[in-house]
Amino acid sequence: MKKFASVTALAVALWSLSTVPSYGADKKPIRLGVCDWTIDKSGDPSALETAGKWGLEGVQVSLTVKDGSLALLQPALQKTYLDEARRTGVAIVSFCLGDLNGIPLKSDPRAAAWLEQSLAVCRAMGVRLVLVPFFGKGELRNDAAGVETVISILKRLAPKAEKAGVVLALESYLSADDHLKIMTGVGSPAVAVYYDVANSQQAGYDIFTEIRRLGAHIAQFHAKDIKGLYGKGSMDFPAVRKAMDDIGYDGWFVLEGTETPLGLEKSIRADVDYLRTLFPLK
């Protein structure tokens, strides 16, 4: 554990995506983003403009696959996204390889190839985090062999991610301890956790204990409540904020999977308005 702790400091440096003013002595400058698929803009550069109009500061962009490779390997598409980011002032906060839920890293060679390609996209576009999901066919619970395969692949790719200054952030239904075992097995600051509060709550974990247990190993968070609009459902967002403060988190809180009883735009605006009471702009 001593060696692993030593690389954590490097991970903190890799995960620093931006510097913004503090909101106060007791509050970290956590900003709000949204997944492009949550606003029906998966792989669409116009997601940045929509997110900005709906009160968000950043977008998690889908790394879609086209003709067997990542579409964002194309310089023209990279330029379109970067131009939109400059024009709108909305940040690209991270990428997500959603196709890995159907084409799993644990069993399909294409997944590892795409993950490696994502590092080239990150380098070209100045993005430092890729969400690596393990849902659907990629599920890791009760799959020890699958976990070992994933560790082996990540051990091969992690040095390349380190060199690129990119964090590969794992999102799954595994517990905090199981995620820590994977990170220890890989032994690199380039592998971290993408923590989805609602997914972990749904899996039956004490999410506030888990957040504190994982600490600086959490690279980014998804905001989600599967029971209703934020502040009216089952997620205790003030307690989430407190746990974030306790671990010194100052990254992005990215909306995903919001309930939409008011329709998509009005529901997301309502969720953003609620979260702003906990995560103010300044």
CA gyration radius, the chain: 18
* Number of domain units in the chain: 1
Place of tokens 């069993």: 107
Domain that holds residue 80: 2-15+29-276
Please give the helix or strand (H or E) that residue 168 lies within, else none: strand 167-172
Asked if residue 69 belongs to a domain, the reply is yes
- pLDDT given at position 24: 37
CATH of the domain at 248: 3.20.20.150
pLDDT tens-digit readout, 142-177: 999 999 999 999 999 999 999 999 999 999 999 999
Asked if residue 281 belongs to a domain, the reply is no
Closest CA to 111 of 97, 125, 123: 97
Asked if residue 174 belongs to a domain, the reply is yes
Asked if residue 23 belongs to a domain, the reply is no
Instruction: Please tell me the pTM assigned to this model.
Output: 0.90
- pLDDT given at position 258: 83
Asked if residue 160 belongs to a domain, the reply is yes
- pLDDT given at position 252: 98
Asked if residue 282 belongs to a domain, the reply is no
pLDDT tens-digit readout, 202-233: 999 999 999 999 999 999 999 999 999 999 99
Which residues of the chain fall short of a pLDDT of 70? 1-28
Sign of CA dihedral 182, 143, 175, 202: positive
**What residues contact residue 43 under an 8 Å CB cut-off, 6+ apart?**
36, 61, 62, 63, 64, 71
- pLDDT given at position 21: 29
The CB density around residue 167, as the number of other CB atoms within 10 Å, is 28
The CB density around residue 50, as the number of other CB atoms within 10 Å, is 20
Which tokens in the block code for residue 188?
Answer: 């690199």
Asked if residue 249 belongs to a domain, the reply is yes
Asked if residue 152 belongs to a domain, the reply is yes
